[in-house]
Structure 1
Amino acid sequence: MKKIAVLTSGGDSPGMNAAIRAVVRKAIYHDIEVYGVYQGYMGLINDNIKKLELGSVGDIIQRGGTFLYSARCPEFKEKEVREKAIENLEKRGIEGLVVIGGDGSYRGAQRLSEEAKNLKTIGVPGTIDNDINGTDFTIGFDTALNTILDAVDKIRDTASSHERTFIIEVMGRDAGDLALWSGLAAGAETILVPEGTSDIKEIAEKIQQGMDRGKKHSIIVCAEGVMTGHQCGEELKKYINIDTRVSCLGHIQRGGTPTGMDRVLASRLGGYAVELLMQNESAKAVGIKQNQLTCTPFDDIFSAKHNFDFKMYELANQLSI
């Protein structure tokens, strides 16, 4: 394999730049030319592809976001659109493609591997939601977790000072890992996740029990996939007379300097993706399980959801009494 390309797709996550850097430098180390695809799959269609050198990825490992940019590209589902992307790769002699992103990004990579005669594709899990099957952790999750934790710690000071219940809305449309991990680490009294039950009456009773024994404030961490923070507050008021405030952390969770854990994870996964391409592997995603690098066929990735840790969820509930 003499030429490969790399792109980032979907929502950005801290550590993507570290992954790109690893792909580029690992490939060049093995005398492979590397091309950067700007603006994700949209860049493949529009031929926004440029050769990358060692210096192209200098001084980026500490930066959040992705210097290759990212863009939503729903039209990539159309075969004729993908044919244009394949043509742009083939005219440069590109034989391998590393796609850094989430489930939707993987599906695009799988289609390319099926339809392009001489193209191998490897997926690298980059999403703060930690919702991809085939890996214990995704790039960006640890950084987003620490961003949330820092915010909750600060909000708790105000909650304590004013004797209020604060509802912290975090990202996680279909997966509750961010809410679970941040809620447990912050000592939240209640954690609402898509995988669990959301009995508002029970939550209200729990808060009331705490107030009855002298508790002055509470923290509720709510994943956006369950309900909005404001909806949670309105529902609580049906069962208990409390003064609630809502903080929706929003896109602050996606930004910022990646943690050391995310930089190391991204570097390991990016380097491993290049190794797999050199072995002519294709239509697979890299991951990490029990701190060991793994690869999983895309079909297996799509066949099941990322395992939610219900034991940790149970522990969080037990510790929040």
Structure 2
Amino acid sequence: MKNIGILTSGGDSPGMNAAIRAVVRKAIYHDLRVWGINYGYAGLLGNDIHPLEIGDVGDIIHRGGTKLYTARCEEFKTKEGQAKAVENLEAAGIEALIVVGGDGSFRGAQELTKLGYPTIGVPGTIDNDVPGTEFTIGFDTALNTVIDAIDKIRDTATSHERTYVIEVMGRDAGDLALWSGLADGAETILIPEQPHDMEDIVHRLKRGSKRGKKHSIIIVAEGAANGVEFGREVQEKTGFETRVTVLGHIQRGGSPTAFDRVLASRLAARAVELLIDGNAGRMVGIVNNQIIHKPIDEALQEPHRVDETMYHLSQELSI
């Protein structure tokens, strides 16, 4: 093997640039040539492919987003699109591919492997919802962004004695809401993995008010409820002045934390090693602070789970 490719796909996440840097430098260290593919699978189908040298990845480890850009690609989901992708890779002389992204990106890598093309998946998504790994690239940075925002909102919540509903990302996974809610002492956390009882939420808010509590913070994962609608319902049923903040895409940006930079570097370097050793159709991940790898097929069959003990702890601590 002399040539490998790398692309980033799906939603961007802080630390993707650190992963790109690690792939390029690890590969060059082992006398391989690296080709970057812009705009994910869309760029692959459009032949937006270019060589990456050591200097091309200098001074990017601290930058958020992705140097290779990213995009959605409906055409790639078709058999014709996947066959065209393999054809373009082979025409460029690229013998294997590293895909950095979430579970949707991994499914694309899985399809290429089925066509006989070697791929390795590196988990990068702020939602932390890729099975087979405890953490994904970008989650820690997004979490700290959310916590910083909640800290600021708490100041004004205290000043005006209001209830604040804060909607965070997490369509199918509640990790951002759960971790930020526990870290910031939220009174209530709504996540897709757990049902919520409105009567219990109202009871808890009123109980806190009776004992002299001046404000409350409620964290809502977007997949658990619509923050605006939920905030309106809270105000109607409690009579408390309630404001809603939807954090939105601010959660995706920013310089990656040290944890995400190190995680991305470790995962990406291991991905290169797996290709050198002749592996294909596998993903890398981190479990108990050790870098592991497993078949993508096997990982995608595992359901995403949040730590239920953390969820119950958050309820116990917010009495």
Name the TM tier (shorter chain): over 0.9
- 1:257 to partner: Cα distance: 0.3
Aligned: 1:260 with 2:258: yes
Q: Which amino acid aligns with 1:134?
A: G
Aligned: 1:291 with 2:267: no
- 1:209 to partner: Cα distance: 0.2
Query: Do the aligned partners of 2:76 and 2:82 also contact (CA within 8 Å) in 1?
Result: yes
Secondary structure (helix, strand or coil) at the match of 1:270 reads helix
Query: Do the aligned partners of 2:157 and 2:216 also contact (CA within 8 Å) in 1?
Result: yes
Who is 2:10 aligned against? 10
Who is 1:130 aligned against? 128
Who is 1:198 aligned against? 196
CA shift digits 1:15-64 (9 cap, x unpaired): 00000100010000000000000000001100000011000100000000
Query: Do the aligned partners of 1:201 and 1:236 also contact (CA within 8 Å) in 2?
Result: no
Secondary structure (helix, strand or coil) at the match of 1:239 reads helix
Who is 1:54 aligned against? 54
TM-score, normalised with respect to structure 1: 0.98
Q: Which amino acid aligns with 2:49?
A: I
**Root mean square deviation, CA, Å:** 0.8
Q: Which amino acid aligns with 1:24?
A: V
User: Hey, what's the Cα distance between the residues in 1 that align with 2:184 and 2:138?
Assistant: 19
User: Hey, what's the Cα distance between the residues in 2 that align with 1:4 and 1:81?
Assistant: 20
- 1:306 to partner: Cα distance: 2.4
Who is 1:44 aligned against? 44
- 1:127 to partner: Cα distance: 0.1
The 5 A counterparts of 1:140-289 are 140-289=138-287
- 1:201 to partner: Cα distance: 1.4
Who is 1:75 aligned against? 75
Aligned: 1:104 with 2:104: yes
Residue segments in structure 1 that go unaligned for 5+ positions in a row: none
Q: Which amino acid aligns with 1:198?
A: H
- 1:238 to partner: Cα distance: 4.0
Secondary structure (helix, strand or coil) at the match of 2:35 reads strand
User: Hey, what's the Cα distance between the residues in 1 that align with 2:289 and 2:305?
Assistant: 16
Query: Do the aligned partners of 1:200 and 1:235 also contact (CA within 8 Å) in 2?
Result: no
Who is 1:92 aligned against? 92
Secondary structure (helix, strand or coil) at the match of 1:104 reads helix
Q: Which moved more, 1:247-256 or 1:236-245?
A: 236-245
Q: Percent identity?
A: 63
Secondary structure (helix, strand or coil) at the match of 2:130 reads coil
User: Hey, what's the Cα distance between the residues in 2 that align with 1:125 and 1:147?
Assistant: 20
- 1:149 to partner: Cα distance: 0.2
CA shift digits 1:81-127 (9 cap, x unpaired): 112111111012211100000011001101111114xx310000000
Query: Do the aligned partners of 1:131 and 1:305 also contact (CA within 8 Å) in 2?
Result: no
